Amino acid sequence: MSSYVNMGAGALLGTIFVLMSVSIASEGLFHSPAPEKEGYVIAAAEAPAAGGGAAAPAAEKPIAELLAKADVKAGETIFKKCAACHNAEKGGPNKVGPNLWGVVDRPIASHEGFAYSASMKDFSKGGSEHWTFENLNHFLTAPKKLVTGTAMGFAGLPKEEDRANLIAYLHNQADSPVPLPTN
Ligand code: HEC
């Protein structure tokens, strides 16, 4: 009889132990520091669905403000992360990704000789959507969040300064760079 009691008590203790471990483990999971910009990433992905021209989410600095302080040289360095897949020289080849000469304000999914994914073609809305500064800023934050199913295998640039510097560099890689945004 008493051995049953002991077994019961043992089982109960065991259960409590397991429950505690689970709760400690999940505590650890949920309290682990979330990536700093998580909220932005989601906001960025939702913004275009909310109607394209809608104002950027409050937490995000306007790209115009960021570009005003951007450093083209620093952007050129960041472009090294892209260069495995993209060439940004005039007349340069398509690589894993399309050539990016003149990409700022270029219609999305429009570079000659490049086979875009169906997702990117959908995102271009038949070529009516362009790579505006804002679109680039959102896309480069987390490519797969803005264009679900894109073939671009790049996680994204979480730092807004990095994106602004890079976009400033890409902006210069054009025959006649479009005017920088003012608001
Ligand atoms: C691992 C390869 C890879 C890397 C790294 C990469 N890209 Fe791409 N990129 C692609 C591919 C592939 C596509 C075409 C995507 C599609 O069709 O869905 C693409 C598409 C694009 C487009 C759309 C171009 C158009 O003509 O519509 C832009 C803009 C772009 N990439 C910018 C960048 C920038 C800037 C970086 C660096 C921060 C970068 N990519 C890093 C592979 C890559």
Span from the CA of 133 to the centroid of ligand 1 (angstroms): 15
Burial label for 123, CB within 10 Å (0-12, 13-18, 19+), is buried
Sign of the torsion angle spanned by Cα atoms 50, 132, 163, 141: positive
The average confidence (pLDDT) of the chain is: 84
Span from the CA of 97 to the centroid of ligand 1 (angstroms): 5
CA distance 131 to 156: 16
Residue range 93-148, pLDDT digits in tens: 999 999 999 999 999 999 999 999 999 999 999 999 999 999 999 999 999 999 99
